[in-house]
Amino acid sequence: MAENKIKPIINTILSSAGITINGSNPWDIKVYDDRLYQRILIDHSLGLGEAYMDGWWDCQQLDIFFHRILSHNVSPNIKINRTVLLEIIKFKLFNKQNKTRAKQVAARHYDLGNDLFKHMLGKHMAYSCGYWKSAKNIDQAQEAKFDLICKKLQLKPGMSILDVGCGWGSLSKFAAEKYKVKVTGVTISKKQSEFGRSLCQGSAVNIKIQDYRDIQEKYDRIVSVGMFEHVGFKNYNTYMKVIERCLKDDGLFLLHTIGANNLGSGIDIWIDKYIFPNGMIPSSIHVIKNIENRFIIEDWHNFGADYDKTLMAWQSNFENNWDKIRNNYDNTFYRMWKFYLSSCAAMFRARNLQLWQIVLSKKGVPGGYISIR
């Protein structure tokens, strides 16, 4: 189909969301290559993202553009092609998060460079949703999230804590120093572990490079923040077995994870290819199915709207600090990263994605669990 026949189709679809091609609003797109229309029609969101990286189109306010598309349910108007469908089938048929493949996300994302994440995430180096209830900036929001987690876990001095997917160690350090607990953090990222060990030097924190499947020791409390998204549905049962094995009978487990609204919405092909290889967002059914007969749900807290604020703060930091790190990355990376942060912010703003903190116990908290907000 020629570009001049496809353009009216794409124009009609975008118009339904109040978006004008080459319009004057900050959410309108500027098209520099008419091949864009066919690329969108053929490759859906993957084509849209790759075309942006290639400079075929631009938009002043990407986050508003994406929010309009998502909130007006534009995507279903474009049929998924065979290539995209095949990638989704691969997720269902193969274990893309086995021990060998699990290391890919560390190599291709978390080990991109601590300079990038230092200048994007803020002083706490926390790569997960902040808690903005009373916070005025990203650093306050991350510290509030740390404290919220510690209070939900009912930490007491001397307790042993397992931090599964500890990142750069900021939560581990916070818990150890403020709540006087002993923390073991595990990560599969070499650069995260190096940074975390330096950050936590002098604290009661031990950070190890280790796959979660190999953990054997028992702990009073277990926490996992922003890691479950890399586990994959074929490994959820194994993951929960590990948590059950390692949690003491009177312990608490807090799972902090992005959540999908339904079983079929947890995979994004562009995100999988360029940002988080082998990633998969769990649905509530995924979680419930794999905790049944193992844990009691004590609390389920959704503050997904806070991830919009978090991602927009990261994007602001990234753009404001780009000149400090641009020598280590190219312009294609810059555009890719903007697309990533803006599109994800819009997903949470449109409430297409959620952020859950789920507190679980093995036998139930005697007298009942008191929810913290």
Please report, for the domain that includes residue 237, its CATH number: 3.40.50.150
Does residue 129 belong to any structural domain of this protein?
A: yes
Residues 66 and 105 grouped into a single domain: no
Read off the tokens for 134: 């009373």
- What distance in Å separates the CA atoms of residue 310 and residue 17, rounded to the nearest whole number? 25
Does residue 22 belong to any structural domain of this protein?
A: yes
Residues 53 and 122 grouped into a single domain: no
Residues 160 and 130 grouped into a single domain: yes
Task: Using the 3D structure, point to which of 53, 79, 105 is the last residue of a domain.
Answer: 79
* pLDDT tens, position by position, 111-152: 677 889 999 999 999 999 999 999 999 999 999 999 999 999
Does residue 251 belong to any structural domain of this protein?
A: yes
Residues 249 and 287 grouped into a single domain: yes
Residues 186 and 329 grouped into a single domain: yes
- What distance in Å separates the CA atoms of residue 177 and residue 173, rounded to the nearest whole number? 6
Vertex 141 angle, CA 139 and 146, to 5°: 95
- Asked if 59 and 28 count as a contact pair (C-beta separation under 8 A), the reply is yes
Task: Using the 3D structure, point to which of 46, 79, 112 is the last residue of a domain.
Answer: 79
- What distance in Å separates the CA atoms of residue 111 and residue 58, rounded to the nearest whole number? 28
Residues 201 and 116 grouped into a single domain: yes
The domain in which residue 180 lies consists of 96-361
Does residue 373 belong to any structural domain of this protein?
A: no
Contacts of 82 by beta carbon, 8 Å cutoff, 6+ apart: none
Q: Residue 215's pLDDT is what?
A: 96
Catalogue the E-assigned strands of the chain.
29-31, 57-59, 160-164, 182-187, 205-209, 219-225, 247-260, 296-302, 353-361
The phi and psi torsions of 221 (rounded to 5 degrees) equal -140, 150
Residues 18 and 147 grouped into a single domain: no
Read off the tokens for 356: 């859950």
CA dihedral of 284, 290, 296, 301, whole degrees rounded to 10: -30
Neighbours of 23 (CB within 10 A): 14
What are the Cα distances from residue 98, in Å, to 213, 231, 239? 10, 8, 11
Does residue 136 belong to any structural domain of this protein?
A: yes
Q: Which residues pair with 219 in a beta bridge?
A: 247
Does residue 367 belong to any structural domain of this protein?
A: no
Q: Residue 247's pLDDT is what?
A: 98
Q: Is the dihedral of CA 58, 62, 65, 70 positive or negative?
A: positive
User: Residue 150 catalytic?
Assistant: no
Q: Residue 79's pLDDT is what?
A: 53
User: How many residues are recorded in the chain?
Assistant: 373
pTM beyond cutoff 0.85: yes
Does residue 86 belong to any structural domain of this protein?
A: no
| CA end-to-end span of the chain | 54
Residues 335 and 226 grouped into a single domain: yes
- Asked if 258 and 229 count as a contact pair (C-beta separation under 8 A), the reply is yes
Residues 54 and 102 grouped into a single domain: no
Does residue 370 belong to any structural domain of this protein?
A: no
Q: Among 59, 129, 200, 344, which one carries the catalytic annotation?
A: 344
Judging by DSSP bridges, how do beta strands 29-31 and 160-164 pair with one another? unpaired
Residues 107 and 235 grouped into a single domain: yes
Judging by DSSP bridges, how do beta strands 247-260 and 219-225 pair with one another? parallel
Residues 133 and 46 grouped into a single domain: no
Residues of the chain with pLDDT under 50: 1
Residues 260 and 310 grouped into a single domain: yes
Neighbours of 199 (CB within 10 A): 18
Task: Using the 3D structure, point to which of 79, 106, 141 is the last residue of a domain.
Answer: 79
Overall domain count for the chain: 2
